[in-house]
């Protein structure tokens, strides 16, 4: 017999884990449904496992885009976590919040909402601090007591150090904290791990509650639709691991946290979305929300690749006796090269105006690397790969239904680099970091640049290079965005409620009005925490006290 819960959370990714945990801690009975697998696997815990995950794993779901006309008809992949913890269980673990101006922008875009809810930096910062257990930083921006363990890299490769020094030689200041007062700089990222073990949303928030009777966790549970009775979301239909169909009912809010590619699909299958599009698939439209699936934003990235003139970088650590030694060191002591996710160093720069906010984020990978759908003739080797990422892209894509069959993947068209300003910024970023390749001490360690072609670096040639190799930075966002009252394309109000439906909210990166500058795992967890807090505060009519209570740690996720 199917059960009734206080809340149902659909999707156990970064946001869903935090939302479910916060509600359970508040005494609610919560059903957490995750379509993917358990997060308990040695390869998932091991930081370099990301390179195995991306290039073929049951722990990832691989979305193939529609042919991208502006990229010459290219089809590329957007891989997403298919596991409890979502992206936080399979990603490179970089801890990044974005900059305060990102949230000032959200607040400005949401001005005029009837709830009077603020999304500026001072209102979101307490959620970040409440979650964070930083091993080095404790100040007005960082917490050290939270369950999400944030640490400096356990191992730094020489190639990463040379990259940081070369970029400093180009006039970029060194930073010890990309989440500090200014984002501009070059340095070493912090990561969501401790002593080499991943600190995912699953480990940080769900593991401590697995014995709590208020939490019911179902893995390999695929949700087919949300049931709407009248104007109220009341239940969820899902298929369990054995193929049986269940209907779980909720006394209060249902939260959809399936990510920016699947959340709009699930809403549309449930009759919530653009009326004409639903009708084309024979789905009765219960709530006409034209913004569902629109406004897809992702960070585009393009690699620069050079081979080394010696056995530098992590390629040497993955073969022969070194691999055995490193594995034993990691297993026994939690130290050594395997404690690194392989992207220790990075930078935020504005090549066009060094005094303005950064337009480009860079990741330094200390070996030759490309994802499986853009590999071509490039093979792993000694060297360096630097990916340049446009942090505030203007391009917008969409997610749509492929059919009314819940088992079908959605149609995804991200339109990466479609906007000319995005392409202009990407080319400027490529030129800047090509100069880093030619600058000491990095220059003395490199053999030859193999991408882009060093003989063809006109704007036209770099444009073609970018079109050929651009890919996702794994940050799809914005497809069910929040907006003020009167905004017809806004799917959610400022408290993350789906417009036109009671007891239904969205808590994942699809909710954001615009993408933040940097990695999105931490913002997704903040969204989950804040969504749960909205629900809790509505019951106690204490929304205005939200910030004060968070600052005192009473509601820290």
Q: Just list the catalytic residues.
A: 475
Measured distance CA(313)–CA(352) in Å, rounded: 30
Q: Hey, which residues does 385 pair with through a beta bridge? A: 305, 365
Q: How far apart, in whole angstroms, are the C-alpha atoms of residue 42 and residue 105?
A: 40
Distance between CA atoms of residues 177 and 137, nearest Å: 9
- Cα within 13 Å of Cα(327), Cβ side: 10
Strands (E) in 184-281, as ranges, are: 185-188, 193-194, 197-198, 215-218, 222-229, 232-239, 245-250, 254-256, 272-273
Q: What would the two tokens of residue 346 be?
A: 């990075």
ω into 493 cis (within 30 of 0): no
- Contact (Cβ atoms closer than 8 angstroms) between residue 217 and residue 30: no
What's the rounded Cα separation, in Å, for the pair 365 and 384? 6
Q: What SS3 state is found at 323? A: helix
User: Radius of gyration of the chain from Cα atoms?
Assistant: 23
Judged by phi (left if over 0) then psi (alpha if -120 to 50, else beta), residue 167 lies in alpha
Give the side-chain half-sphere CA count within 13 A for 402: 15
Within 10 Å of residue 87's Cβ, how many Cβ atoms? 25
Cβ neighbours of 308 (radius 10 Å): 22
The token duo for 497 is 């409620």
218's CB contacts (< 8 A; 6+ apart) are: 31, 32, 33, 34, 238, 240
Q: 53: which 2 tokens? A: 């995950």
Asked, as a colleague might, if the bond just before 186 is cis with ω within 30 of 0, I would say: no
Q: Quick one: tokens of 307?
A: 């081979």
Helix axes 521-540, 121-131, angle to 10 degrees: 100
Distance of CA 300 to the CA centre of its chain: 13
């Amino acid at each position: 017999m199917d059960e009734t819960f206080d809340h149902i959370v659909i999707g156990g990714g970064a946001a869903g884990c935090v939302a479910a945990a916060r509600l359970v801690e508040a005494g609610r009975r919560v059903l957490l449904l995750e379509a993917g697998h358990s997060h308990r696997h040695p390869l998932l815990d091991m930081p370099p496992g990301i390179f195995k995950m991306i290039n073929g794993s049951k722990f990832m779901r691989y979305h193939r885009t529609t042919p991208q006309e502006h990229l010459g008809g290219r089809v590329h992949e957007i891989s997403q976590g298919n596991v409890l913890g979502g992206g936080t269980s399979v990603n490179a673990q970089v801890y990044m919040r974005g900059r305060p101006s990102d949230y000032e922008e959200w607040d400005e875009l949401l001005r005029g909402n009837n709830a009077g809810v603020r999304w500026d930096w001072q209102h979101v910062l307490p959620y970040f601090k409440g979650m964070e257990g930083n091993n080095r930083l404790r100040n007005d921006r960082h917490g050290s007591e939270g369950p999400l363990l944030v640490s400096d890299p356990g191992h730094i490769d020489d190639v990463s150090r040379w990259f940081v020094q070369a970029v400093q030689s180009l006039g970029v200041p060194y930073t010890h904290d990309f989440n500090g007062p200014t984002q501009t700089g070059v340095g070493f990222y912090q990561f969501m791990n401790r002593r080499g073990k991943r600190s995912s949303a699953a480990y940080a928030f769900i593991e401590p509650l697995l014995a709590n009777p208020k939490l019911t966790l179902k893995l390999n549970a695929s949700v087919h639709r949300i049931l709407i009775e009248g104007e109220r979301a009341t239940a969820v239909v899902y298929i369990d691991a054995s193929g049986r169909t269940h209907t779980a009912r909720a006394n209060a809010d249902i939260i959809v946290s399936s990510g920016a590619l699947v959340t709009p699909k699930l809403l549309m299958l449930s009759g919530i979305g653009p009326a004409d599009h639903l009708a084309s698939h024979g789905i009765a439209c219960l709530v006409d929300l034209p913004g569902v699936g629109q406004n897809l934003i992702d960070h585009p990235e393009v690699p620069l690749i050079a081979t080394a003139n010696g056995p530098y970088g992590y390629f040497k650590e993955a073969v022969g006796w070194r691999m055995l030694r490193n594995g034993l060191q990691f297993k026994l002591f939690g130290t050594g090269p395997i404690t690194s996710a392989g992207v220790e160093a990075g930078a935020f720069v504005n090549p066009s105006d060094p005094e303005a906010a950064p337009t480009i984020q860079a990741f330094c990978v200390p070996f030759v690397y490309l994802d499986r759908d853009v590999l071509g003739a490039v093979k792993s080797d000694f060297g360096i790969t630097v990916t340049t990422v446009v942090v505030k892209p203007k391009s917008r894509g969409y997610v749509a239904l492929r059919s009314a069959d819940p088992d079908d993947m959605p149609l995804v068209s991200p339109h990466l680099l479609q906007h000319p300003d995005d392409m202009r910024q990407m080319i400027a970023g490529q030129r800047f970091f090509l100069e880093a390749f030619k600058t000491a001490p990095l220059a003395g360690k490199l053999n030859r640049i193999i991408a882009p072609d060093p003989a063809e670096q006109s704007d036209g040639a770099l444009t073609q290079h970018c079109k050929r190799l651009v890919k996702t930075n794994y940050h799809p966002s914005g497809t069910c965005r929040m907006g003020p009252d009167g905004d017809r394309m806004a799917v959610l109000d400022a408290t993350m409620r789906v417009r036109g439906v009671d007891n239904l909210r969205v808590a994942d990166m699809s909710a954001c009005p615009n993408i933040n500058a940097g990695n999105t795992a931490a913002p997704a967890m903040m969204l989950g925490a804040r969504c749960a807090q909205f629900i809790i505060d509505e019951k106690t009519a204490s929304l205005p006290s939200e910030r004060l209570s968070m600052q005192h740690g009473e509601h820290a996720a």
